[in-house]
Amino acid sequence: MLKLEDLNVYYGGIHALKGIDMEVEENKIVTLVGANGAGKSTTLRTISSLVKPKSGKITFNGEDITNLKTTEVVKRGITLVPEGRRVFANLSVLENLKLGAFLRNDKSEIEKDIKYIYSLFPRLEERTEQMSGTLSGGEQQMLAIGRALMSRPKVLMMDEPSLGLAPLIVKDVFNIIKEINKEGITVLLIEQNAQAALKIADYAYVLETGKIVLEGPGKELASNDEVRKSYLGEN
């Protein structure tokens, strides 16, 4: 569904992604695992067209999307939930959700989708008129996911969805990711909590300083000694 071929990205003189090859199959959960600075966020930002590659190719359902604008990438069905949630603090929960649908004009379907988001996240419905900046970290993360879903993505990319959240909320977020995937949305996930990510991932890639050094089914990588030592904090 989504394919990266020999992708090279530079930030000034820094070679951030070094010839990355990656595939994301339809209806799967794929996770990128690696230390900070390995190139995980850069990969998602490049797919979103927020960062332009120096060379290489990104295709989505057979179409070359490497040089499209970010709005065109969203139109095709790829949406990013950025790290740090980035909700519009001075807008209400409902206004944030409506902004997620800014490329759509099917009013009745938008209303239907808002109801669906509220069924996924009942807490957001309770706070529908509340300013987003006053929500807890967990609620803001739910809102960021809900807002991304309002664009009706085929691929939902998530950058560190559990960062800074209480363990109980983290569990909720991972259950929601599985739920979203069951609805037929492909998920590409970056997560510091490698153990939780590998547990739900169909397939995983391990990044080290801009290169893919390991790949395989999530459960397989979770039991790989090298991965357990380096990323799961096990001896």
Q: Spell out the per-residue pLDDT of the chain, length 235, in tens.
A: 999 999 999 998 899 999 999 999 999 999 999 888 889 999 999 999 999 999 999 999 999 999 999 999 999 999 999 887 789 999 999 999 999 998 888 988 999 999 999 999 999 999 999 999 999 988 999 999 999 999 999 999 999 998 888 888 888 889 999 999 999 999 999 988 888 899 999 999 999 999 999 999 999 998 888 888 777 665 4
The answer to the question of residue 38 being in a domain is yes
The answer to the question of residue 102 being in a domain is no
| CA distance linking residue 16 with residue 171, whole number of Å | 31
Burial of 234 (0-12, 13-18, 19+ CB in 10 A): exposed
The answer to the question of residue 194 being in a domain is yes
The answer to the question of residue 78 being in a domain is yes
Give the count of domains, the chain: 1
What DSSP element (H or E) covers 173?
A: helix 167-182
The answer to the question of residue 225 being in a domain is yes
- Domain that includes residue 192, residue range: 2-86+155-231
The answer to the question of residue 54 being in a domain is yes
Which among 153, 120, 146 is positioned nearest to 161, based on CA atoms? 146
Distances (CA, A) of 231 to 4, 22, 87, 160: 24, 20, 29, 15
The answer to the question of residue 43 being in a domain is yes
The answer to the question of residue 132 being in a domain is no
CA atoms within 13 A on the CB side of 220: 9
Q: What is the CATH number of the domain that holds 80?
A: 3.40.50.300
